[in-house]
């Protein structure tokens, strides 16, 4: 696992946890990939991180970072990645590579969630935007 932290705007820090094990990696690495039954452990990890740090948004994706949810394609640091430029309508309407997203309603209340979701403590919502099998 690799931990990567980067300041993406004056008020936003991106933290990536990179877990290696993609079955399509170099054959000499002998990686078997993440199994479906292991995915719940990643969701538990994300929920635990939220319970401790109460971030505004976090997610689980395969080979993608949370900046994808902003809807911009800009290098960073950049003002476009400020929290106030983030609109949940974008990731709730547009298809994304994310399997699960945690959104904090302390930042903004969601009126319509077109996916399965579960309310968490501290005004969090775990939204299932995809499937491990997709």
Residue 39, in any domain of the structure: yes
* pLDDT for residue 30: 67
Summarize pLDDT for 64-78 with one digit per residue, the tens: 888 998 989 999 999
Residue 29, in any domain of the structure: yes
Report the domain count for the chain.
1
Residue 36, in any domain of the structure: yes
* pLDDT for residue 72: 92
Measured on CA atoms in the order 89, 95, 98, 99, is the torsion positive or negative? positive
Q: What values do phi and psi take at 41, rounded to 5? A: -65, -35
Eight-state DSSP code of residue 72: -
Residue 91, in any domain of the structure: yes
Q: Is 75 within 8 Å of 6 (Cβ atoms)?
A: no
Residue 133, in any domain of the structure: no
Residue 31, in any domain of the structure: yes
Residue 96, in any domain of the structure: yes
Domain that holds residue 87: 2-128
pLDDT tens track of the chain, all 134 residues? 789 999 999 999 999 998 766 656 666 766 666 777 888 999 999 999 999 999 999 999 888 888 998 989 999 999 999 988 888 888 898 788 899 999 999 989 998 999 999 999 999 999 999 887 65
Residue 104, in any domain of the structure: yes
């Amino acid at each position: 696992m690799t931990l990567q932290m980067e300041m993406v705007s004056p008020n936003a820090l991106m933290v990536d946890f990179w877990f290696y094990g993609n079955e399509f990696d170099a054959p000499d690495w002998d990686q078997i990939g993440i199994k479906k039954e292991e995915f719940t452990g990643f969701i538990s990890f994300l929920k635990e991180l939220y319970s401790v740090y109460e971030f505004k948004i976090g997610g689980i994706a395969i080979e993608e970072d949370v900046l994808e949810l902003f809807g911009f394609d800009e290098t960073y640091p950049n003002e476009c990645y400020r929290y106030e430029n983030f609109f949940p309508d974008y990731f709730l309407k547009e298809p994304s590579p994310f399997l699960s997203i945690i959104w904090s309603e302390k930042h903004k209340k969601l009126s319509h969630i077109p996916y399965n979701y579960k309310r968490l403590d501290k005004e969090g919502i775990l939204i299932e935007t995809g499937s491990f099998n997709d």
